[in-house]
Amino acid sequence: MAVIPPPPPHPPHVPGPHPPRIPRFVLLGGGLAVGIGGLFLVGSLALGGEIAPGTTVRGVDIGGLSPDDARERLAAELAAPAAAPVEVLIGEEDDEPHELNPAVAGLTFDPAATVDRASRPGLLGRLFGTGGGEIDPVVRQDEEAGRAALTALAEESDTTVQEGAVAFEDGAVRVTRARAGSSLDVAESLGMLRDGFLPHGDDPDAAGPLRLPVTAAQPVTDAEEVARAVEEFAEPAMSGPVVLNAGGARIELPPEVIGDHLTMNADGAGRLSPALDGEALADDERLAEPFARAAVAPTDATLRLTGGEVVAEGGAPGTRVVTDGLGDTVLPLLPGRGEAARTDALPTEQVEPELSADNYRELGIVEEMSSFTVGFEPAAYRTTNIGRAAELINGSLVPAGDTWSFNDTVGERTEENGFVEGVIILDDQYERAQGGGVSAVATTMFNAVFFAGVDPVEYGAHSFYIERYPEGREATVAWGSLDLRFLNDSGHAIYILASATDTSVTITFLGTKRYDEVLAEAGPRENVTQPERREGEGEDCVPQPPLEGFDVAVDRVFVEGGQEAGRETFRTTYVPRDEVTCPAAD
């Protein structure tokens, strides 16, 4: 076993210089620093950057988690709230929430940036009890998308300012009440929407929908101005008719008629002033009859031929009510009450007749242009219908360049218009209908047009030939389907004389001749076809004799200075007139 020698004795103490003495507190501090530094080194290695304990985001605890774990927890826990619609109220009076889709509104929750906000206190903080606390989530906002979503919401929720107004309907005053309007403050709401996204469930101030601000606008025309306008003008205006005296006639304008053309308009300061559309009032059809009763129609002169000379007889001027300034006359009367305050005069002016002893020569009505007569077998219905048509045509004045119409002049051949039932041609056979026999007048008119040398712009021949008419120079008419019209291209006015007897009708054109003479040259019948024989049916059956069908051409020849100046051809096709026999009556 090894022996261990004893230690050598201590050397003797040799006095010498003393080393510096280190204070005690320095020795203690140095030791503490060494100890804490060691703890930091150990703590840092142990904690690895964990988030401070007690750190929460909208109630989600991420304290003590690594950043990666914290991000995952926030993304998982707040995914549903971040995707849920945001409920908002518009203004202080709104009590029905509106929903905004966060994705559409450009709102997204950023878990990573939120975790970067979190405190990582390390060991010292832990030693001294430092915690993380609640931190706000980082919310990203696409401002362009947010503005678009809020603008769309504003379009649904904004209330426009309703200006006070006064209107008139059916003779009564209609008032629109003034009302303030409001509109969503999009710029201010944008920040509030971002800050209010993902509210804390435990925060009582954040509970419920987010109330967004609005801007208010007041009406310019307010209730006080409306009340003034109604009292001072509107109610008196509708209190009764306006009475106008014109040429000794009394014309009443009822409130319901005036009101349809009366308005009250606001100026820039909101003051309501009345305006009356006098032109529209004057043209109102409800006033046509009162104005007509107050007028005196002029009487045209009548023309006749005496010894080959055109002579005028009669004719007188009339008067009409001058309505050009009707609005200026009526408007000042409307604030008055009682008939005396609402009555004024309307001027009248003289109206000259269209045709007078002073102007017929200036119109070029100086000679006979043409005249034609058609004879017919006497029959009561012919006498009545032909006479009535001639009466309606007689005295027609056709200015140069105008078109004359048989149907427009004679009108529908009805009992009310003075016509009776007679025989007509329908579907290539005789039948009974109102106005039978009028075709004799149409044929006479066509020939007057033909020999006057003016342009027949619409005409039609009978379907089959009628022996009493000149072939190729005859016409018929049918209400609503066939008219006889001519254009007065003579360069002067034409005056038409028409008269009838029990056996004939004559039409004469007065004016200025275009040519020295107009002649008719008829060609031979061509493409002759034979009629058939058949038996008619019914009580209205009319027997008719047979007649061949054929084509014929007639030339109108214009003669000037003894020479042919022009020629035009009229072609007509007639179908055969079948022989029709009617069953004997029982």
The answer to whether position 175 is within a domain reads no
Give mean pLDDT, residues 312-329.
95
The least confident of 38-42, 310-314, 345-349, 477-481 is 38-42
Q: Cβ atoms within 10 A of the Cβ of 400, count? A: 15
**Position 7 confidence tier, pLDDT thresholds 50, 70, 90:** very low
Both 549 and 401 in a single domain?
A: yes
Please state the φ and ψ torsions of residue 190, each to the nearest 5 degrees: -60, -50
pLDDT at 427: 53
CA distance 417 to 415: 5
Q: Could you tell me what percentage of the chain is helix, strand and coil, using 3-state DSSP and rounding each to the nearest 5?
A: 25, 30, 40
Cα 500 versus chain centre, distance: 53
232, 149: one domain: no
What is the model's pLDDT at position 131?
Answer: 67
Return the closest-CA partner of residue 492 out of 313, 361, 356: 361
Span 150-166, average pLDDT? 86
Question: 143-157 and 186-195 are packed helices; what angle lies between their axes, rounded to 10 degrees?
Answer: 120
Provide the domain limits for residue 118.
56-155
Helix (H) or strand (E) holding 124: helix 122-127
Return the sign of the alpha-carbon dihedral for residues 82, 85, 90, 96: negative
Quick one: pLDDT at residue 33? 40
Residue 49 counted as domain residue: no
Band (389; pLDDT cuts 50, 70, 90): very high
The verdict on 377 and 427 lying in the same domain is: yes
Domain final residue pick, 155, 172, 191: 155
Confidence at residue 46, expressed as pLDDT on a 0 to 100 scale = 42
Question: What is the average pLDDT score of the chain?
Answer: 86
Cβ contacts of 83 within 8 Å, gap of 6 or more: 102, 103
Domain boundary (320, 351, 382) is at 351
8 Å CB contact between 370 and 558: no
pLDDT score of 4 more than 80:
no
Q: Are 379 and 347 in the same domain?
A: no
Give the residue, 539 or 430, on which the prediction is more confident. 539
Q: Are residue 67 and residue 132 in the same domain, yes or no?
A: yes
Give residue 428's pLDDT. 52
Q: Return the structure tokens found at 489.
A: 């291209």
Residue 206 belongs to some domain of the structure? no
Q: Which residues have CB under 8 Å from 399's CB, separation 6+? A: 363, 488, 493
537 inside domain:
yes
| Residue of higher predicted confidence among 209 and 4 | 209
DSSP state of 21: P
DSSP codes joined into one string, 332-378: GGTT--STGGGEEE--EEEE--SS-TTTTTTTT--EEEEEEEEE---
Which of 207-211, 327-331, 422-426, 506-510 comes out lowest in average pLDDT? Answer: 422-426
- Per-residue pLDDT, averaged over 344-370, amounts to 95
How many alpha carbons lie under 13 Å from residue 128 in its C-beta half-sphere? 7
d(Cα 178, Cα 221) in Å, to the nearest integer? 7
564: left (phi over 0), alpha (psi -120 to 50) or beta: beta
Q: Which two tokens stand for residue 283?
A: 């043209």
131 or 22: which carries more pLDDT confidence? 131
User: Are 237 and 98 within one domain?
Assistant: no
Report CA-CA distances (Å) from 466 to 411, 470, 473: 24, 8, 11
Asked which of 155, 190, 208 is the last residue of a domain, the reply is 155
What is the reported pLDDT for 195?
A: 84
- The answer to whether residues 344 and 413 belong to one domain is no
Same domain, 395 and 346: no
Burial of 156 (0-12, 13-18, 19+ CB in 10 A): exposed
Residues 451-477 have pLDDT tens digits of 999 999 999 999 889 888 999 999 999
> When comparing pLDDT for 8 and 234, which is higher?
234
Cα of first residue to Cα of last residue in the chain, in angstroms, is 179
Q: Is residue 415 located within the same domain as residue 555?
A: yes
Please give the radius of gyration of the chain, using alpha carbons only, rounded to the nearest integer.
54
Q: What is the DSSP letter of 198?
A: S
pLDDT of 171 strictly over 90: yes
Say if residues 78 and 56 touch (Cβ distance below 8 Å). Answer: no
How far apart CA 147 and CA 195 sit, in angstroms, is: 15
Whether the predicted pLDDT of 11 surpasses 70: no
Confidence of residue 130 (pLDDT cuts 50, 70, 90): low
* pLDDT 10s digits, 68-114: 999 999 989 888 888 889 888 887 777 788 889 999 989 999 999 98
**CATH code assigned at 297:** 3.10.20
Q: Is residue 330 part of a domain?
A: yes
Q: Per the domain annotation, does 207 fall within a domain?
A: no
Residues 253 and 137 reside in one and the same domain: no
Percent of the chain with pLDDT strictly greater than 70:
85
CA 51 – CA 338 distance, rounded (Å): 91
Task: Identify the sign of the CA torsion 64, 67, 73, 78.
Answer: positive
Between the ranges 37-51, 56-70, 163-177, 528-542, where is the mean pLDDT highest? 163-177
d(CA 447, CA 375): 13
334 lies in the same domain as 377:
no
Asked whether residue 47 carries a pLDDT value surpassing 70, the answer given is no
For the ranges 132-146, 166-180, 392-406, 482-496, the lowest mean pLDDT is seen at 132-146
In the structure encoding, which two tokens stand for residue 324, read together? 């050009």
State residue 44's pLDDT score: 42
Burial bucket for residue 447 (CB in 10 Å: 0-12, 13-18, 19+): buried
What is the mean predicted confidence (pLDDT) over 55-62?
Answer: 91
Task: Decide: helix, strand or coil at residue 215.
Answer: strand
Cα 236 to chain centroid distance, Å, stands at 33
State phi, psi for 5 to the nearest 5 degrees: -70, 155
Q: Are strands 579-581 and 533-535 parallel, antiparallel or unpaired?
A: parallel
The band of 238, judged by pLDDT with boundaries at 50, 70 and 90, is very high
State how far the Cα of 509 lies from the Cα of 524, in Å rounded to an integer: 29
Torsion region of 463: left, alpha or beta (phi above 0 gives left; psi -120 to 50 gives alpha): alpha
Indicate if 250 and 142 belong to the same structural domain: no
Please enumerate in sequence order all residues whose Cβ is within 8 A of that of 345, keeping only pairs 6 or more positions apart, or say none.
Answer: 244, 245, 246
CA distance 558 to 455: 13
For residue 18, tell me if it sits in a domain.
no
Contact assessment for residue 183 and residue 190, using Cβ atoms and an 8 Å cutoff: no
**Dist CA 545 CA 540 (whole Å):** 16
> What's the 3-state SS for 419-470?
CCEEEEEECCEEEEEECCCCHHHHHHHHHHHHHHCCEEEECCCCCCCCCCCC
Confidence of residue 403 (pLDDT cuts 50, 70, 90): very high
Q: Are 146 and 153 in contact (CB under 8 A)?
A: no
pTM above 0.75?
Answer: no
SS3 6: coil
All residues at 6 or more sequence positions from 136 whose CB lies less than 8 Å from its CB, including other chains: 57, 114, 117
CA distance 444 to 439: 8
- Indicate the number of domains in the chain: 3
Does residue 571 belong to any structural domain of this protein?
yes
- 282-292 pLDDT, tens digit per residue, is 999 999 999 99
Residues, the chain: 586
Residues 6+ apart with CB under 8 A from 321: 246, 247, 251, 291, 294, 295, 346, 347, 348
